[in-house]
Amino acid sequence: MLRFAALVVCVQAALAVNTLVLVDNLATRETHSIFLKSLQERGHEVTVKAADDPSLQLSRYGEFLFNNLVILAPAVDEFGGALSVQAITEFVDGGGNVLVAGSSEATDLIRDLATEVGVEMDEEGAAVIDHLHYDAADSGLHTLVAAPSDGLIDSVVMVGHKQSAPLLYRGTGLITDPDNPLVLPVLRAPSTAYCHDPTQRITEYPHATGQNMLLVAALQARNNARVVVSGSLEFFSDAFILASVQTPTGQQFDRSGNGVVVEALSRWVFHEEGVLRVVSVEHYRKGEDSPPPSYTIKEQVVYKIKVERLVDGRWLPFQTDDMQMEFVRIDPFVRLGLNPDNSGLFSVEFQVPDVYGVFQFKVEYNRVGFTRLSSFTQVSVRPFTHTQYERFIECAYPYYASAFSMMAGVFFFSLVFLHHKDSSKVKAE
């Protein structure tokens, strides 16, 4: 019985999701309690520590101690213990997930960390200002932006279903490289917004303006590790999640849209949503049920792949109609859409091209909000053996006729030659 109990404890420890939350001061646990409580309710083992705690470390003996890292400490000048920007970068390279919240007064340390994941925060002291999209509770500087939900990325997996309520935001603007395919614009600023120090006169054109400026950005690395960077710490706060919103045009909303977006975005960044996996791959000749040692050119082949999606902690069949399979040597020789069914099984039947060599069944599925799905299965394709070629083909009939006519001619010539007698020799006799 004791052994069984110990085994259960070990299994639970292995399945637990460990999340480290770093804060400027422990009062953040109260101001952001809704966000932290939602993590605990979803099964996270949340550890809250000061960002300058001397005991901080992400790994021990080459093993990561946490699955996720949340940094709600925009004012930290230097991380404590063994934690550093390089250590966090290595954590992401190892598959860890990170959520970073900044502010207008974010330190160089937080800015350097954001830069490492392809996001640039505007200069210190700069805040997002919008004179047309602000909340009635604003102090007069119009830095309490009521960002329309239209600026959210078109992905239910990342930000939940679209809603009419605007999102409250107070913080700095973010700038990303639009050519970077790994960085995703989660929340764009309104076209009338700009980023500048509200206490200073504008003498030069602001560095970040309009929809080129982001309020929240995300990165999904090539190893499927995820990072979210927000220019506002208050975006995740209880005050903004529970606040009502009144726009300058007189529209009133009982609750801001922050709660829905924060919940959905935290699920996404911590790999609770938008996760795909390949369960099985099958391929065989049509009419058979097991893969052969090699395929022959022009054979009919059936390819099947089963894919599942993580939904609320359970693996369910993945449903989509835009997944493709490629039959590749160096370049694709065949590219076909896969036919789905209700069990998450995608299949296709095709003819092997008339080219032999080493091929791959290749499935790559890359859609916004989902982990990158890659499946490669290598097979050999050989030419026909000498017993598999057709003996007589129509296009060669003239050659067959010429060969048989030549044989017939030689036969009759031989008969004539052997049985013909010279008339001069007969007279002489």
For residue range 227-274, list pLDDT tens digits in order.
Answer: 999 999 999 999 999 999 998 888 899 999 999 999 999 999 999 999
pLDDT of residue 178: 85
Q: Between residues 98 and 401, which one has the greater pLDDT?
A: 98
List own/partner pairs for 317-326 with CB under 8 A and 24 or more apart: 317/342, 317/343, 317/344, 317/345, 318/276, 318/344, 319/344, 322/367, 323/363, 323/365, 324/363, 325/361, 325/362, 325/363, 326/361, 326/362, 326/363, 326/364
- Tens of pLDDT along 17-63? 899 999 998 889 999 999 999 999 999 999 999 999 999 999 888 89
What's the CA gap between 84 and 90, in Å, rounded? 10
pLDDT of 387 higher than 90: no
3-state secondary structure of 119: strand
Q: Does domain 276-382 have CATH number 3.30.565.10?
A: no
pLDDT of 82 > 50? The answer is yes
State the average pLDDT for the chain. Answer: 88
Beta strands in 89-181 (DSSP E): 97-101, 119-121, 127-129, 145-147, 167-169, 174-176
pLDDT of residue 188: 94
Question: So what CATH class is 2-269?
Answer: alpha beta
pLDDT band at 425 (very low <50, low <70, confident <90, very high): low
pLDDT at 423 over 90: no
Angle between helices 33-41 and 258-269 (to 10 degrees): 50
- The sign of the CA dihedral 132, 133, 137, 140 is negative
Q: How far apart are CA 362 and CA 356, in angstroms?
A: 17
Q: Does 13 have pLDDT greater than 50?
A: no
Is residue 2 over pLDDT 80? no
333 or 422: which carries more pLDDT confidence?
A: 333
131 pLDDT above the threshold of 70:
yes
pLDDT of residue 413 exceeding 50, the answer is: yes
At 18 the pLDDT is 93
333 torsion bin: left (phi>0), alpha (psi -120 to 50), beta (else) = alpha
Give the residue, 388 or 157, on which the prediction is more confident.
Answer: 157
CB contact at 8 A, 175 and 214: yes
